[in-house]
Amino acid sequence: IMPGSDVELVRAVRQHFGEIPLMVDGNGAYTSADIDVFRELDEFDLLMLEQPMKASDLDGLARLQEAVSTPVCLDETAATHEQTAEAIRRRACRIVNLKIQRVGGLGPARAIHDLCYQQGIACWVGSMPELGLGQAYGIHLATLANCKYPTDIEPAARWFVDDYVVPPLELSAPGLFAVPTRPGLGFQIDAVKVRRYQVRQLDFTARTAG
């Protein structure tokens, strides 16, 4: 959604599709002056309002969350563990979107998940989108106990001509990924494809101290 294309748009979608799970993403386009818009959106029983205001506007996000019943979800605001903790402290959200690439890897993403779990803030796993390796990490992250909402991870083929994981990530049923049961991430890397698409190579050599 964006200013001027929000309430009536959501109304039309809700009327057409009925009681499906529905959320909106403001992509930081709104300000505190628009809180009445979000009060109107409360009537549509949305799962969440994702990043309605710019990432740095914690005061505005906190005022919005206090004013509406729909949960505010942080995306860009939750870029680090420290930023997420501060947003939670200021009651600027009730949900956090975990993006592994945004926060710097699986370890930081898990730490933010655990912080949210301890503070009673639900999570879900978003994508940017990624090739299969990043998606595989996301699928596993989404199985954690505090990931309460559907992920938006998609098959890589929707975005990329030729992925490098084997087997390719595909839906096991409409809207569903089966969590891999093979060792590790559950996928192999096709080294031939990696070399085919390689544009630069860095080699590192371990040295002993002394």
Q: Is the peptide bond before 108 cis (omega within 30 degrees of 0)?
A: no
Give me Rg for the CA atoms of the chain.
20
pLDDT at site 148:
97
- Which sign, positive or negative, has the C-alpha torsion 1, 159, 129, 155? positive
pLDDT at site 210:
66
CA distance 122 to 97: 9
pLDDT at site 208:
83
Q: Is residue 115 part of a domain?
A: yes
Q: Is residue 167 part of a domain?
A: no
Q: Is residue 146 part of a domain?
A: yes
Q: Is residue 163 part of a domain?
A: no
Q: Is residue 41 part of a domain?
A: yes
E strands, the chain, in order: 24-25, 49-50, 72-74, 95-98, 122-125, 165-166, 188-189
Q: Is residue 206 part of a domain?
A: no
User: What CATH number should be reported for the domain holding residue 136?
Assistant: 3.20.20.120
Give the chain's end-to-end CA distance (angstroms, integer): 59
Could you tell me which of 180, 100, 186, 88 has the C-alpha nearest to residue 147?
100
Measured N-to-C along each axis, helices 106-119 and 81-89 cross at an angle, to the nearest 10 degrees, of 20
pLDDT at site 112:
98
Q: Is residue 172 part of a domain?
A: no
Q: Is residue 25 part of a domain?
A: yes
Q: pLDDT 10s per residue in the chain (210 long)?
A: 999 999 999 999 999 999 999 999 999 999 999 999 999 999 999 999 999 999 999 999 999 999 999 999 999 999 999 999 999 999 999 999 999 999 999 999 999 999 999 999 999 999 988 899 999 999 999 999 999 999 999 998 889 888 999 988 899 999 999 998 899 999 999 999 999 999 999 999 988 876
CA distance 208 to 210: 7
Provide the residue range defining the domain that includes 68: 7-153
Report how many domains make up the chain. Answer: 1
Contact 193, 169 (CB under 8 A): no
For the entire predicted model, the pTM comes to 0.92
